[in-house]
Amino acid sequence: MVEFDIKPIRVTNEELIENRFSNILKGNHACAGCGGTLAMRIISKAFGRNVIYVIPASCSSVRQGFIPKSAMACPVFNTAFASAAAVASGIAAALKYQGRDDVVPVVRAGDGGTVDIGLATLSGAAERQTNMIYVCYDNEEYGNTGYQRSGATPPGARTTTTPIKGKREFKKPVPVLMADHGVPYVATASIGYVPDMYKKAYRARRQIKNGFRYIHVHFTCPPGRGTDPRDCVGLAKLAVDTGLRPLYEVINGKRYLNGISKKQYLEPDKYMKPVEEYLKYQRRYRGYTEEDVELLNRYRDRYRDLIKRHVKYTNPELEEI
């Protein structure tokens, strides 16, 4: 078990705006209203300069641009879909050999390259407790290849490969799987709660300086969801507020619910919004039925029960947003 000193992190939106540093330059190939780019900018502020990014096939590899130009202000390794965690493991071994404990490899992968195609190498790196940070940017689809369903697509969502009734299977609980590997740090985050996302990235980089660290970031994809680009952050917030994307941390095996998700855990009737509030703005749920709502409610309740079995500790210092 990795030992470290966890301290509360105080940050405001104003402080984030004043922090001009970002590994993501202003010119990039992202779609308008891309939540993933926003997440990348905020998280890079927390990670700082001494990082080496490993990016598998994904929207992230498109955002960075094409040779000879780049939207990244740091070293980047582009890899095949399945091999990101394996490549980062090699970089971690090389850095260890060189005695470079000031640099850390960071995997920046989509949900397809994490919960589906890259799950084997991800699990291997976690089991070996490899010194890296793995960030899954979860837009709940294969956004780079035409909006097909992935293992992270929620039930009821219509994609180009589930166009009639939508996906009927539940979303894979990969953050829970990572926590069960016994790694020192796992967190879920959302662009709907930016200070919380920043603090978790900061904790993974600055407070927990060794071992395997995993952050699962939920964001919205306007073309894939069929939504207005201006609604990107608001929709992500609704996903949390309806209990579909709970915010929590797992620190050395201890689970901490964060912010509104803790309130939902304690008083769901008071703090949890109906899932219909989240569905009605998205074309992928257009014409949703009572069966779709029931399916999503069952998924939400199952995930809540899964978290309940693990949440044994609370720490108000860590839960403030």
Tens of pLDDT, residues 148-184: 999 999 999 999 999 998 999 999 999 999 999 999 9
Give the three-class secondary structure for 93: helix
Q: Which pLDDT does position 47 carry in this prediction? A: 92
CB atoms within 10 A of CB 269: 6
Name residue 255's beta-bridge partners: 250
pLDDT tens-digit readout, 261-298:
988 888 889 999 999 999 999 999 998 999 999 999 99
The domain tally of the chain equals: 1
Residue 280, burial from CB neighbour count under 10 angstroms (0-12, 13-18, 19+): exposed
Residue 87 lies in a domain: yes
| pTM exceeds 0.85 | yes
Q: Is the pLDDT of residue 58 over 50?
A: yes
Residue 19 lies in a domain: no
Q: Rounded to whole angstroms, how far apart are CA atoms 112 and 152?
A: 8
CB atoms within 10 A of CB 190: 27
Peptide bond just before 155 cis, omega within 30 deg: no
DSSP 109-150: EESIIIIITTHHHHHHHHHTT-SEEEEEEE-SSBGGGT-B--
46: CATH: 3.40.50.970
Q: Is the pLDDT of residue 55 over 50?
A: yes
Residues 6+ apart with CB under 8 A from 191: 35, 38, 39, 42, 197, 217, 218, 219, 220, 232, 233, 236
Q: Domain range spanning residue 308? A: 30-313
pLDDT tens-digit readout, 103-143:
999 999 999 999 999 999 999 999 999 999 999 999 999 98
Q: Is the pLDDT of residue 62 over 90?
A: no
Q: Rounded to whole angstroms, how far apart are CA atoms 123 and 149?
A: 22
